[in-house]
Structure 1
Amino acid sequence: MSPTSPTTVIIAPPPTPNGNLHVGHIAGPYLAGDVYARYLRAIGRPVVFTTGTDDSQTYVVASAAKLRTTPQELCALSAKQIERTLEVMGISVDGFAPFDDGYRRTALDFLTALHAAGKLRLRTGTFPYLESTGEFLMEGLVAGDCPVCLAESRGGLCEACGHPNNFSELINPRSTIDPTEPVAFREAEILVLPMEEYREQLTAYHQSQGAGWRPHLVQLFKEVLSRPLPDFPITFPTGWGIAAPFPETPGQVLNAWAEGMAASMYCTWWAGDDHEAATDEAWRAEHSARLVYFLGFDNGYFWGGTHLAMLMAHDGRYVLPDTIVCNEFYELEHEKFSTSKGHVVWAEDLVDEVPRDLIRFYLSLTCPENQRTNFSRAAFEQITADRLVAPWNRLSDRLAQRLDDVRPTGPLATSAEGRARAAAMEERFHTCYELSSYSLARAADLIITQVQRLSRNADAPDTALGDLLLETRTLLSCASPVLIDVAGQAREAGVAVDLRGESADEIPPFRLPQIATPSRTAP
């Protein structure tokens, strides 16, 4: 790999710190981003994978009210829980950025530059309003029915269809904190980014760059760009968030979604080595970084629409995203995850019960790439035991037995046929991991196919031991972005586990680590 290869900057959207992460969260952008980052490291490409927390979201306020705590206390607790969960799940972020003064300065610098350049406009908007408290309702503070698809929605964006909504457009709006309170409407002047001014640039971008993305996201932007683009709020008349410095909107705060690009820049800076550099340095166009987002469909409009327009509004200062890898919703036993109803499996708790390689494998196999998929505890236990652990450990045992029978004193020769099979296997895994055809589900299924094949071949007396070792090492290397612990054991034992595509006329003997089985079964 050339030392001049541009750095790939991977962003998983900062989670809202209104609780911990469950397996549905992990099965979305965090595992997908992690596997891709590990793949890039394995093939020698420079990469920065990072995230933080999104403390400004009004969802924090709504959740804190239900939990009878303060938003500040909820943010502090949740941020620690989220960082711990990412760690125990092996999500290899290079840095987990704090929501601190540096974050706030980065957000303010990003937006005040647009303000100074005359890119923001003062508009009068109509917002749901509680007469009893004198509060405007937006984002996580208001719910109603989506004016596009009629599904239940929160303010600003519908999770079901992905379309934005102006807050006055929600059908039957109600407060999420106290749904019994009558909701009125009141006007307020806010600063906005006029999205229509970026229509031509957005259309050209999506016709070229976004044409090969997953179909649901492509469909969303065909629909969005076929109708007038709503102004994107930069400020809100509410009390939770970073104070807006603009003279036109005294007493208002920044829209949390308007912080998105600056937040990602700060996360990238936090993960880097040069903390003397400007916090937006890595994103500047002259460095030609390759920018990749992993996110859920419910965030698609912001990241592929408003956030993109905000980067464009900086007139070439920043790189634009190369790819957006979007996932759908992940369900639990065919129902939506619900913390309030206790219908949830916390990722950290699951790691206490079963080896995380099994979790990562099953979440990869069932991840919601193009449609809703499901976590089932019974299916998890059966599939991991029968289709992964049993054949993998049988291969490990048989390989060990054959090594014991031969007791080689040095490297074993490989054949041209064995090297060809290993190369074909690696090529198939590259197809799963490269962004043009990225698929965790296909990678996990390929692990199943190859471990079962090699397990059978290990019993065949005509399978040369050198070829079996080479192909087994190739499988181990190709599975390493998903099965991180078994790969780690192999590395510690001196096995070369990478994906550099090096030809091997001979191979040193090695033992294939076994995949751990659950220490206990949850009730």
Structure 2
Amino acid sequence: MTKRKFLITSALPYSNGRLHVGHVAGAYLPADIFVRYLKARGDDVAYICGSDDFGAAIEFKSWFEKRKPEEIVAEFNPMQLVDFNRMNIEFEIYGGTSLSPRHPEFAQHFFTRANEEGLLEKIESEQWYDPEAEKFLPDRYVQGKCYYPDCESENAFGDQCEGCGRQIEPLKLLEPKSKFSGATPEVRKTTHWYFNLPEFEAKLRSWIDTHPEWRSTTRSRALKFLNEGLRARPITRDLKWGIPVPLDDPDAENKVLYVWFDAPIGYVSFTADWCEETTGDWKDYEKWWKNPECKIIHFIGEDNAVFHTIIWPGMLMAEGSFQLPHNVVVSAFLNMAAEKMSKSRGTAIWLAETLDIFEPDALRYYLTAIAPEPSRTGFYWDDLIARTNGELVATLGNFLNRWQSFVHKRFDARVPPAGNRTELDREQLAALPALRDEVSEKLESYQFKAALETLMKGAQDANKYFDTRQPWVTGKDNLEDCGTAINVCIQTARSLTVLMAPFLPNAAESMRKVLNLDSLDWQTAGEEIPEGAPIAKGKPPFRKLDTEKTFEAVREKFPPE
């Protein structure tokens, strides 16, 4: 196979809180599955991520808790990495925009390049100001009543109404209140720099047109935003915590880069930091970001779709020397019951507590099986338990385990001879390379749920084969034929082990040891383990859940309100 080069990123989580299951389902688990597949295939891959440390969210938490922003980052950045590690989501680097030594330089470089190209305009505007907190308020930190007559929701913010979903003009918000102090804000004038995004409308449309392979929902979101007309966007903010605006201008004093502008540049900064750690030269980041042979793939949630398909590419076009993303893989939100999973609203299912109850492979399986790829899906505890027991354990785990006792009891813990294979044996073995290719096809097109379904269909077929061959019967009066069937089961187990590794890494590693495989290279799915090769004793790869005890643990970790 041709060796390809990929740079994969996942959205940078804010370092003001912990990770919840919805985070993982949208931007991180599918990316990790894809990265594991690419590496197994032999491609050159870098998976880059880190925390988004600047902006109003951190300053807001800092103000309320009377702590320095640096202290909040120091608490949550490593906590997030621990949770990712527990979930077996593995990055080349997990940085932080306030922790990277090169991030300020990169962020200011993007600002400076846009300014040099005449793409920035200084504009005076009116904005909400909290007189008690003595702060200009970012749009998201003003809450009030929606001004649309057919809505009038009281859950409207300065950027968007959560009731009707429409964009809000912040100064039109009815009955506004500051989320900092609760005071009624007042309108004051301030000056900011705006990025001329409309300059790139034609180029952005042309670029999107060259990628018909994107998910239809991603393309439709991007094109809808373009069709509504692009507007210049502010890229500076009146905050203390952030990257200083690199201008010798009195109006730039006490202003920082807007977090949406600096955050995606973190992908570049972290790549440079990783290159310095691994090659000794941070400038090797150019081999990834400025190399036409390297495909850059962003994995994000639906709330970041416009930023990564319109605004971030516009920034890259303005800078001029970077490659544009090859794909932006957008997942919808994961709902808890009927409500979007959100840490800010108190509806989050925290990842750490969930992993205290469920094995990571079980959670990885379930979140992939219900993946919110085209549209939002629901997370339900009873469904997680039922699928773990009824699918993961009863189908895949059952097949991987059920033939092992025959090997140790009847064939001296070694692969028995192939013997005289029947037509059914040959059909089962012939299906394995086809299974590998079908899973590959789904993964290459970012259909992770469908790829897992294909894998599970292979496990179902393997169980049918085992039931049809009945080695428990032939083992009594035709040991040679029994050995042939067990040989085919072992070859099938080898293929399933390789193919499940991107989805279920713990179980795959356990089975690799049982089968004494040197590696789980993708192309070895369909290849045979030779006769006489040793087979180690193993345990069932997945744990069956006691429904009552598991629900009790769930109620203890997540008590009902």
Fold in common (TM above 0.5)? yes
Q: Alignment partner for residue 474 of structure 1, among 461, 484, 495?
A: 495
TM-superposed CA distance for 1:108, in Å, is 1.7
Q: Is the 8 A contact 1:145 1:153 kept in 2?
A: yes
Aligned with 1:268 (options 271, 283, 293): 271
Q: State how 1:169-248 maps to structure 2 within 5 Å.
A: 173-178=176-181, 180-209=182-211, 211-248=212-249
Alignment of 1:7-46 (within 5 A): 7-46=5-44
Q: Is the 8 A contact 2:274 2:282 kept in 1?
A: no
Shift of 1:59: 1.3
Shift of 1:81: 1.1
> In the superposition, relative to structure 1, how do residues 368 and 255 fare at CA in structure 2: closer, same or farther (>3 Å)?
same
C-alpha distance in 1 between matches for 2:434 and 2:164 = 40
Residue 296 of structure 1 aligns with which residue? 301
Label 1:111 to 1:275 Cα distance change in 2 as closer, same or farther (>3 A): farther
Shift of the 442–2 alpha-carbon distance from structure 1 to 2, 3 Å rule, reads closer
Let me know the Cα RMSD of the aligned residues.
Answer: 2.9
Largest Rg, 1 or 2? 2
Counterparts of 2:413 and 2:9 in 1: how far apart (Å)? 46
Q: Report how far residue 460 of structure 1 moved.
A: 2.2
| Cα deviation 1:422-452 (Å, max 9, x = unaligned) | 0121122112211x3x122223333332222
Per-residue CA deviations over 1:359-384 (Å, capped at 9, x if unaligned) read 11011111211222122112111110
Per the TM alignment, residue 65 of structure 1 is displaced from its structure 2 partner at its CA by 4.1
1:302 to partner: Cα distance: 1.0
The one-character-per-residue Cα deviations of 1:12-50 (angstroms, maximum 9, x if unpaired) are 011101111011111110111111100101111110001
**Distance across 2 between alignment mates of 1:241 and 1:268:** 20
* Distance in 2 (alpha carbons) for counterparts of 1:33 and 1:505: 30
CA distance in 2, matches of 1:308, 1:393: 44
Counterpart selection for 2:463 from 455, 466, 471? 455
Native 8 Å contact 1:425 1:475 kept in 2 = no
Partner of 2:521: 498
Distance 2:322 2:468 in 1: 57
* C-alpha contact (below 8 Å) 1:191/1:234 kept by paired residues: yes
Please tell me whether the aligned partners of residues 41 and 523 of structure 2 are also in contact (alpha carbons under 8 angstroms): yes
- Can you list the C-alpha shifts for 1:163-222, whole angstroms capped at 9, x where unaligned? 8766446566432223x421232332211210111011011112222x332233222222
Bigger shift: residues 503-512 or 234-243: 503-512
SS in 2 for 1:500: helix
Show CA shifts across 1:452-497 (max 9, x none).
Answer: 2212322222783333222222112111111110111233442242
**Deviation per residue, 1:391-434 (Å, 9 max, x gap):** 33332342113323344755744765334200121122112211
1:252 is matched with 255
Contact 2:264 2:312 in 1 (8 A): yes
Letter in structure 2 aligned against 1:212: E
Spell out the pairing of 1:305-384 with structure 2 (5 A cutoff). 305-315=310-320, 317-339=321-343, 343-384=347-388
TM-score, length basis structure 1 = 0.89
CA contact (8 A) 1:364 1:444 kept: yes
Question: For the Cα contact (< 8 Å) 2:110–2:315, is it kept in 1?
Answer: no
Structure 2 residue matching 1:515: 3-state secondary structure: coil
Is the Cα contact below 8 Å between 1:158 and 1:298 reproduced in 2? Answer: no
Over 3 Å counting, the alpha-carbon distance change for 1:257 and 1:343 in structure 2 is closer
SS of corresponding position for 2:7: strand
Report the alpha carbon displacement of residue 246 of structure 1 after superposing the two structures with TM: 1.4
Unaligned ranges ≥5, structure 1: none
1:515 maps onto 2:515 in alignment: no
CA contact (8 A) 1:490 1:497 kept: no
CA contact (8 A) 1:419 1:470 kept: yes
1:341 is displaced (CA, Å) by 6.5
In 2: Cα distance, 1:162 partner to 1:217 partner: 18
Q: Give the Å deviation of 1:69.
A: 4.0
Q: Which residue is equivalent to 1:488?
A: 509
Contact 1:357-1:484 within 8 A present in 2 as well? yes
Q: 2:286: which partner in 1?
A: 281
* Identity over aligned pairs, percent: 24
Shift of 1:224: 1.3
Aligned to 2:478: none
Matched AA of 1:314: E
Choose the corresponding residue for 2:53, options 43, 55, 60: 55
**Residue aligning to 1:122:** 122
Q: What is the distance in 1 between the residues matched to 2:147 and 2:43?
A: 45
C-alpha distance in 1 between matches for 2:164 and 2:274 = 34
Does structure 1 residue 421 correspond to structure 2 residue 431?
yes
Q: Which moved more, 1:7-16 or 1:370-379?
A: 370-379
Structure 1 residues 402 and 215, CA gap change in structure 2 (3 angstroms): same
**Stretch of structure 1 that moved more, 295-304 or 503-512:** 503-512
Which segment drifts farther, 460-469 or 423-432? 460-469
- Matched residue SS, 2:58: helix
Structure 2: unaligned runs, 5 residues or longer: 471-483, 556-561
Supply the distance in 2 between the matched residues of 1:140 and 1:371 (Cα, whole angstroms).
25
Distance, in Å, in 1 between the alignment partners of 2:528 and 2:43 is 25
**Which amino acid in the other structure matches residue 50 of structure 1?**
I
Q: Which moved more, 1:7-16 or 1:225-234?
A: 225-234
User: In structure 1, what is the Cα distance between the partners aligned to 2:469 and 2:107?
Assistant: 64
| TM-score with structure 2 setting the length | 0.84
**Structure 2 partner of 1:445:** 453
- 1:505–1:444 CA distance, 2 compared to 1 (3 A): closer
Q: Which residue in the other structure is 1:395 paired with? A: 399
Partner AA of 1:23 in structure 2: V
From the two aligned structures, give the one with the greater helix fraction.
2
Q: 1:322 to 1:394 in 2, by over 3 A?
A: same
SS in 1 for 2:282: coil
Distance 1:276 1:326 in 2: 32
